[in-house]
Amino acid sequence: MGSYLVRRFGLMLMTLFGISVLIFVLLRLTPGNIADILFDAGGYVDPADKKKIEHDLGLDKSIPEQYADWIGGLLHGDLGFSYQTEKPAIEEIAPRIPITARLAGIALFFAVIIGVPLGVVSAVRQNTKLDYVLRVISLSGLSMPAFWLGLLILMGFVAYFGTIPIYSEQPKGFWNALLMYSVPAAAVGFRSSALMMRLTRSSMLEVLRQDYIRTARSKGAPEIAINYYHALKNALLPVITVIGIEAAFLLGGLIVTETVFNIPGVARFLVEAIRWRDYPMVQNLVMFIAVVVVTINFAIDMLYAAVDPRIKYGN
């Protein structure tokens, strides 16, 4: 298994290097000089200010030198500073990371505890009324955009409770924070739970048709042991992959949800930075999201090595 871990870690580093080059190059392919864009957006008229922006961004250096300076700064925790707020980028990004992480964590928790059990039930009760109902619910979840569901939830709260569950200030206390994040997390997690439900159902049905399941039944093993020990254990392997993909998506793709519920997270701040043409902030935020996605996929690979004996003993 050691060689498997080394290969995966090397692949992760190569992927991060490729992504960093792609981000760096694409932002510099933006039509027009980035200093001119910032110059026009800020309404400056003094050419000396423009020269200062070019020097701060390192545009007076060669492209390889600019890339080396950026990566060196990232490795030392120096992310530059925001041209909109004139603060260090790390001070703008760091407070927003826990907010997005809490929202994504609660949404993923909802998705797993709802999607996986209901998927198992749907597979075990195949072609029953309960199975049809759960399949309709899962299709509804996959068909319903998270932002539209979020708007329906907001209108429902206004109609029935006379309040609107949007982020107004940092909640104090565990239960207040849980209540604040639960509503948007449920709106996002509903789609993820529907995906996990359908994948768990199809994976369980495939496993339940295997020869060793029929052998266990012929030996008189209890149905609970067959379904939840023998079958579910093997059916969860593809579900683990989807959980990792959804976790990466939730950490980096909550732009609309954070906007609808007024949550000052990383994804919403990225949109604001793009609108402000805050070049250093956009570059670092996109790289941060890329690091999160690649790291989560690496963690899923490690989890696969722990639960799948074919990987554990295959090297």
CATH assignment, 97-264: 1.10.3720.10
**Per-run averaged pLDDT (10 residues), the chain, 315 residues:** 78 90 82 64 63 73 84 82 77 86 88 91 90 90 80 82 70 73 84 90 88 84 80 82 82 74 83 78 86 87 73 56
Give the model's pLDDT for residue 132. Answer: 92
DSSP bridge partners of 81? 88
Prediction pTM value: 0.78
In this prediction, residue 39 carries a pLDDT of 63
Residues 6+ apart with CB under 8 A from 166: 154, 261, 262, 263
**Quick one: pLDDT at residue 1?**
60
Dist. CA 202–CA 123, nearest whole Å: 7
Sign of CA dihedral 255, 110, 233, 211: negative
Nearest 10 degrees: Cα torsion 148, 151, 156, 161: 160
pLDDT at res. 313: 53
